[in-house]
Structure 1
Amino acid sequence: MALRQQPARHIPPEAPLEACPNTLSSTDFPDHLMTCRPWLCFAALSGALALIGIDMTVLNVALPHLSMQLGASTSEKLWMVNAYSLLMAGLLPGFGALSDRIGHRKMLCSGLFVFCIASLIAAFSFTPSMLIAARGFLGIGAAAILPAALSVVRTVFTKKEQQATAIGICGAIWSGAAAIGPVIGGLLLENFWWGAVFLINVPLILISITLSLRWIPRFPSNPCRPWDVVASVLLTAGLIALLFALKSAFKPNADWPMFIGSATVGAAIIVLLLKRARSTAAPLINFYMFRAPLVSLGAFVAFVMGFAFAALQYALSQELQLIRGLSPSLTGVQILPIAGASLVASFLIGPMMSRLGMERLLAISLGLATLGASLFTYVGFRSGALAELTTLSMLGLGIGAVMSIASTAILSCASQDRAGAAASLEAISYELGGTLGIAVAGSAMARIYDRVLMLPPSITLPVNARDGMDQTLIAVAKLKPDEQIAVLSAAQSAFSASIYSVLHGATLMVLVLFVAVGLILFFCPRMRAFFRADDLSSDRPVPGTKANRGIQNEAPAPVDPANTSAPAEDLETGVRPASACA
């Protein structure tokens, strides 16, 4: 079914760039770019992108140490991880518009400055609440850095081939940094105190700021570019409320009144955000983009894979340290095959997509991820280093390929002037999925641990000792040696049960996603045709897009004036016609 044209709404038009004061004209911009060296600009950005990737995963191996040093509960431990990605996901769309408004270099340096101050606060935090707040400010800094950095890359590289290469290297730097984040965190924890995990950011940030001011030129800004700060606050507040509701439901002693209240508030905020998006000319998130089937499918796939991957990685990192007793650095090395194989897949997927086709490669990649997750959960887990390495590498290859295809599917549906919004949508889907994955996995593990833990009747522990394995380890230090052995045995059995539950749940999610996407592709031939029509490996113009409206000097496709139900391109959504399974 084709997209139906929405009724006209009285929306004030966005001010044109030419009407804005203090803005470089389009004729000044090419000469301005001639004074900069693109690869020097890229070198200045590399450190900032690596910092964002490292801070996404560096806490995976540091949580047991942090919880013991700061006395953090399971809920506080999860907020330490989620505060970063949650604030980044909520503010990313708005900060992209703000970067256009004030200038990319200014936004980049401002984000780096916030990141530096937040790193110092996090390093010297002395309470869990202080560290959670610092992690939130780190997420704010990351949300400012990421869109500005990508905008600089897309601007300074004027040749299409160089631009594609630079963007690909950006993804590789981000993925590679996320892959080595646990290893770096483990090495720092073994040789320094836990604050070094955050303090290492400061010299790298100072170098990045210096290089950015030296090599990145001042780009044209658009002071009249709308920045809906109210929508940014609403989106962030809605996500926090919904996450708080989720944690309340999965606590060992579920707080159902808090769950209902938080869920109601979160849903109401999201409804307000949707209404606001319909009444403004420049919405924070263009929800009409979801009318394109590939956008909806790509965002859903990114969300589910982010959820399952984050849950599995969180559970595995806890098990390696608290059950097997591995050091933080060895824990990082043990889980490195997932991110490493995912990085390799991101390089290989482009050439394979042109040969096999996007829809066929998506099914194969999902099958590989499902096979890897199943083999690891039911065969490889605790079956030796070689078995775990093989199955985790298989899982990582599948995840990396699926995420690359999902990103390509989303971007292929966006017109050229909406590519940034589409890229933000994919990033938000993955970050939000990862945030909820860690929240659900951590809360579910705590609940299962509390229910399964069976202590000897003669031993009494504090109430918070049943909150998690790390809390139990703190409590047993005050017991007699024979009582410690009994408690630790029961705790390891209960914690292993919670780990297995999360692994089974993550595997089931990937399996359900594989079956669902397979059924859609098998029973919906129009969706398969839509995949092939939007294959980015081809430079041919797609009917109904801007390539057929004069950009490539092609005559516009004929449109039947009487047919108002199928516009060549939805002027309101900025996406290509959703003719497949709409």
Structure 2
Amino acid sequence: MTSTHPAAAEAEFRPRPGRWIALAVLVLAVLLVAVDATVLGLATPFLSEDLKPSGTQLLWIGDIYSFVIAGLLVSMGSLGDRIGRKKLLLTGAVAFGGISVLNAYASTPEMMILARALLGVAGATLMPATLALIRNLFHDPRERSLAIGIWGAMASAGAAVGPVVGGFLLEHFWWGSVFLINLPVMAVLVLVGIRTLPESKDPAPGPWDLLSVALSLIGVVGVVYAIKEVAAHGAGWDVAVIAVAGVGALYWFVRRQLTLPAPLLDVRLFHHRGFSGAVLADLLTILGLSGLVFFLSQYLQLVQGRSPLEAGLAELPAAVGAVTTGLLAGRAARRFSVRAVVAGGLAAIGVPLAVMTGLSETTGYPLLGAVLLLVGAGAGFSFTVTADVILSSVPKEQAGSASAVSETAYELGAALGIALLGSVVTGVYRDFPTPLGVPAGPSAAAHQSLGGAVEAAAGLPGRGGADLLAAAQSAFVDGLRLASGLGTAVLLATAVAAWFLLKGQRLEEGSIPPA
């Protein structure tokens, strides 16, 4: 709906003072959430030595954060639309900082699991609110595209910087330090955000339907948990029951949204071909990439023998590529087309991923660095433009819900990718033949994981340990090659699908009236 009064239209599109400072505050939150999602993997061996969790407890420590975030994103995005995105963001930031202290000083496995779950609740408030606030801060579409590019670039940078920061801290301090770095960043975010961020919300939101919140949480967590369990331990009756319950809850959730006068999520948004195409592209891209993302750090450390800090630094080219193309993506989509940039970006991920099918234990870093640079560049183009399409496809009052859908697609894509491609790597790895002379105990430990093989090999005398480790590393690389090939097929198929689904989709042009 457009205003018939020129003064009202000018007020609607006039640039907001301080919007770039406000953006800097928002990307702080994104950077921190992205860093926090990656540092735990490095800290896990140190945490395990201190807290001594069981195998099941260790899995929950690793997974509960992403489970809770995935399950609450839609609900929190909708809550921000109702109570105000600034209010939700700042409240979540304070909670994130406080709960980080609880994570850092957890003294038992049970306390750590609870702390990670609470951190997931706080994290779920941050990501949808940041993207929704960008939608309301930047009225001019060209400026908004650049702002989304910066937002996406910082998310990519955070994911890459996390291992570097974590590696540095773990080499100099105790494992809790990787959580305490959240405190100064969140303090700056809150103090500056109070003054610079505008409040925005849906002027007529309706009530926050608690049954829909519960159904969304049960549905997403149930599906994600079942996928990860199948990947880790195979199918079973208990997992099947949880999967059916999750799918049933999601079905009930969708049916309920169609009948509510003020739904938690307007599922009719998916009737918009551009919105649906962008969400699907995000989900499948993360699915195809997850094999590389999830296992590359293990390859660099456990196969090529790099330290955590060296492995983190080795992965930086991906962030450089993503940051560079993310800032250029909006301009490229307007000059060429949305579908050309998204499909081209996806192909730019798929082609270098195909190079990984020739990976070996001794592959040189120049080739790995080039692959990571191109993968990051393609991701920067694709994710930035799809985020812009998703936000531009909905009224600004629903920006929180729309951005939450985008983030949920990311989480589901990661869960599916780790389940499908992870099971490929694990299946190939566990079938490697045990070298002659290796006792049954070390052999069993080595077949559980590559980390287990490294430990088992270290305890064997003579050639036995070296032969066991070489066999395990070779099997792991074989699995990674196969997963890279399957990821390539997914990425290239998604590029073709995006070309058709995003046909005719355009980013809005600049609309700021002349001064």
Question: How does the TM-score come out when normalised to structure 1?
Answer: 0.76
Structure-1 separation of matches of 2:145 and 2:340? 24
Cα distance between partner residues in 1 of 2:390 and 2:134: 20
Counterpart contact for 2:65–2:116, Cα < 8 Å = yes
Q: How does 1:315-464 map to 2 (within 5 A)?
A: 315-378=295-358, 382-442=362-422, 444-452=424-432, 454=434, 456=436, 459-461=439-441
CA–CA separation in structure 2 for the residues paired with 1:341 and 1:286: 35
CA contact (8 A) 1:68 1:471 kept: no
Residue among 474, 480, 496 paired with 1:518: 496
1:507 paired to 2:485: yes
User: After superposition, where does 1:267-278 map in structure 2 within 5 Å?
Assistant: 267-278=247-258
Q: CA deviation at 1:406?
A: 2.8
User: In 1, Cα distance between the equivalents of 2:498 and 2:29?
Assistant: 39
Candidates 179, 182, 186, aligned match of 1:201? 182
SS of the equivalent of 2:125 reads: helix
Q: Deviations over 1:261-312 (max 9, x none)?
A: 2222222222221222222122233333223333332222111111222331
Change (3 A) 1:70 1:457: farther
Do the aligned partners of residues 101 and 291 (structure 1) sit closer, same or farther apart at CA in structure 2, a change above 3 Å counting? closer
- Letter in structure 2 aligned against 1:511: A
Length-normalised TM-score, structure 2? 0.84
Query: 1:287, 1:396 → 2: CA distance?
Result: 31
Q: CA deviation at 1:169?
A: 2.8
Indicate which of 56, 60, 66 corresponds to 1:85: 66
Flag the 1:381–1:231 CA change in 2: closer, same or farther, 3 A: farther
C-alpha distance in 2 between matches for 1:301 and 1:497: 31
- Aligned-partner Cα distance in 1 for 2:359–2:320: 21
Deviation for aligned residue 1:67: 4.8
Preserved contact between residue 120 and residue 199 of structure 1 (Cα < 8 Å): yes
Q: State the shift of 1:395 in Å.
A: 1.9
Aligned pair count?
501
C-alpha distance in 2 between matches for 1:398 and 1:221: 34
Percent identity of the aligned residues?
A: 29
Structure 1 counterpart of 2:172, from 191, 205, 218: 191
Please state how far the C-alpha of 1:429 moved relative to its aligned partner: 0.9
Q: Say whether 1:535 aligns with 2:513.
A: no
Question: Which stretch of structure 1 is more off in the superposition, 411-420 or 130-139?
Answer: 411-420
Query: 1:17 — aligned with what?
Result: none
**Correspondence 1:97 to 2:68:** no
CA distance in 1, matches of 2:141, 2:324: 23
Letter in 2 for 1:294: G
Aligned letter for 2:301? Answer: Q
Structure-2 change in CA distance of 1:161 and 1:400 (3 Å)? closer
**Aligned 1:27-426 pairs, distance under 5 A:** 37-67=18-48, 70-71=51-52, 79-156=60-137, 163-216=144-197, 225-251=206-232, 254-378=234-358, 382-426=362-406
Q: Report SS of the residue matched to 1:493.
A: helix
For structure 1, which segment, 107-116 or 210-219, has the greater mean C-alpha deviation from structure 2 after superposition? 210-219
The one-letter amino acid paired with 2:273 is: P
Structure 2 partner of 1:22: none
> C-alpha separation between the residues in 1 aligned to 2:424 and 2:59?
12
Q: Quote how far apart the aligned CAs of 1:346 are.
A: 1.1
Tell me the amino acid that sits aligned with residue 196 of structure 1: S
2:446/2:453 contact within 8 Å kept: yes
Describe the shift of the 1:284–1:452 C-alpha distance in structure 2 as closer, same or farther (beyond 3 A): farther
Counterpart CA distance in 2 for 1:151 and 1:408 is 11
Larger mean Cα displacement after TM superposition, 158-167 or 261-270: 158-167
CA deviations on 1:225-280 (whole Å, 9 max, x unpaired) are 4322332222222222223322333345x352223222222222222212222221
Q: Kindly state the Cα deviation for residue 433 of structure 1 after the two structures are TM-superposed.
A: 1.0
Instruction: Tell me how far apart the structure 2 counterparts of residues 223 and 265 of structure 1 sit (CA, whole Å).
Output: 33
Residues 385-415 of structure 1, C-alpha deviation per residue, up to 9 Å, x if partnerless?
1111112212222222222333344345434
Q: Paired residue for 1:481?
A: 461
1:152-177 deviations in Å (ceiling 9; x for gaps): 44445566665554444333333322
| Deviation at residue 224 of structure 1 after TM alignment | 5.7
Q: Structure 1, residues 361-404: CA drift from partner, whole Å, max 9, x if none?
A: 33322222111101133258742111111122122222222223
The answer on whether the counterparts of 2:212 and 2:264 sit within 8 Å (CA) in structure 1 is yes
C-alpha contact 2:80 2:400 (8 A) present in aligned 1: no
Distance 2:357 2:176 in 1: 34
Amino acid in structure 1 at the alignment position of 2:364:
G
Aligned-partner residue type, residue 45 of structure 1: L
Bigger radius of gyration: 1
Q: CA deviation at 1:536?
A: 1.0
Deviation, structure 1 residue 339 = 2.6
Indicate how the Cα distance of structure 1 residues 92 and 192 shifts in structure 2: closer, same or farther if over 3 A, else same: same
CA 1:401/1:67 → structure 2, altered by over 3 Å: closer, same or farther? farther
Return the alpha-carbon distance in structure 2 between the equivalents of residues 464 and 324 of structure 1.
20
Following the alignment from structure 2 to structure 1, what is the Cα–Cα distance between the partners of residues 130 and 498?
Answer: 36
Distance 1:236 1:445 in 2: 30
Report if the CA contact (8 A) 2:39-2:178 is conserved: yes
Cα drift, residue 79 of structure 1: 4.3
Q: Residues 440 and 346 (structure 1 numbering): CA distance in 2 closer, same or farther, change over 3 Å?
A: same
Q: How far apart are residue 418 of structure 1 and its match?
A: 4.0
What's the counterpart of residue 546 of structure 1?
none
How far is 1:442 from its partner? 4.8
| Distance in 1 of aligned mates of 2:47 and 2:143 | 43
C-alpha distance in 2 between matches for 1:183 and 1:419: 33
**8 Å contact from structure 1 (residues 372, 394) kept in 2:** yes
Any residues of structure 2 matched to 1:560-579 within 5 Å, and which? none
Structure 1 44/350 Cα, relative in aligned 2: closer, same or farther at 3 Å? closer
Q: Please say if residues 81 and 400 of structure 2, whose CA atoms lie closer than 8 Å, have aligned partners that are also in contact.
A: no
In structure 2, C-alpha distance between the alignment counterparts of 1:495 and 1:132, rounded to whole Å: 31
Which is further off, 80-89 or 462-471? 462-471
Return 406-415 or 112-121, whichever deviates more. 406-415
Answer whether contact 1:346 1:404 (CA < 8 A) is retained: yes
Structure 2: 5+ residue stretches without partners = 1-7
Q: CA deviation at 1:60?
A: 4.4
Seen in structure 2, the aligned counterparts of structure 1 residues 243 and 57 have a Cα distance that, compared at 3 Å, is: same
CA distance in 2, matches of 1:539, 1:43: 22
Q: Relative to structure 1, is the Cα distance of residues 248 and 144 closer, same or farther in structure 2, using a 3 angstrom cutoff?
A: closer
Give the Cα–Cα distance (whole angstroms) in 2 for the partners of residues 458 and 171 of structure 1. 48
Change (3 A) 1:412 1:262: same
- Decide whether aligned partners of structure 1 residues 344 and 377 sit closer, same or farther in structure 2, where only a CA change above 3 A counts: farther
Alpha-carbon distance, 1:190 to partner: 1.4
